[in-house]
Amino acid sequence: MRLMIVCALTMFAGAQTAQATVVMKLNRAQMTDMSQLVVQVRVGTIRTVEERPGALSTLIELEVIEAFKGKVQAGSALTLLQMGGELGDLIQSVPGTSKFKSGEELVLFLSAFQNRFVQVGVGLGRYVVKRNAQGTFASEEFGNVAFAEPGKDGVIRPGEAPEPAHMPLAQLAAEVRRFSGAQR
């Protein structure tokens, strides 16, 4: 269902936004509800494979630091799947997908997909974790996506991009746990 909405919105916005993926604007409560896992992770190996002839997928290995929603232990390994990638002379890209770097620390909102995980929305559900003298913070990052939202009449229309959230990591963890009904 979500895939159909993203595809329909991509076609809807095609005339207005070249080379962009259009996604529904989601708040943290909605992303939490749609996620099987919300986890603080460290990015490990990133590799592109050709799982079917001519179809590239990028596999991103993640080490779980802490789970805010879902049953996964610290130290566990997860694999994040993204469509597209670069393999030899073959390059395939999906506009709006998040970019990952080995070693970075993130909070990701994930859904299960074929024994792997995908982000809850293309270009959504990604917070970068940074530390400074004031503490540990999570800053929301969106992929290069355009946003849509339902109007009062229920018709989906182009929307404004939300302001990316920036908050203490502990606050993000507490919100996710509260939204999911998880106790710590």
Exposed / middle / buried, residue 60 (Cβ in 10 Å: 0-12, 13-18, 19+): buried
pLDDT tens per residue, range 142-169: 998 999 998 899 899 998 889 999 999 9
Nearest to 173 by CA among 72, 76, 69, 77: 69
Tokens of 77: 């390994």
Distance CA 170, CA 150 (A): 31
Distance CA 125, CA 32 (A): 9
Chunked into runs of 10 residues, the chain (184 residues) has average pLDDT values of 43 49 92 97 97 92 98 97 92 91 98 93 94 97 91 91 95 96 65
* Domains of the chain and CATH, by start: 27-142+161-180 (2.40.50.120)
101 close to 128: Cβ distance less than 8 angstroms: no
Could you write out the three-class secondary structure of the chain? CHHHHHHHHHHHHCCCCCCCEEEECCCHHHHHHHCCEEEEEEEEEEEEEEEECCEEEEEEEEEEEEEEECCCCCCCEEEEEEECEEECCEEECCCCCCCCCCCCEEEEEEEEECCEEEECCCCCCEEEEEEECCEEEEEECCCCEEEEEECCCCCEEEECCCCCCEEEHHHHHHHHHHHHCCCC
Q: Which residues contact 59 (CB under 8 A, 6 or more apart)?
A: 46, 47, 48, 49, 79, 80, 81, 116
pLDDT tens per residue, range 97-119: 999 999 999 999 999 998 999 99
pLDDT at 14: 42
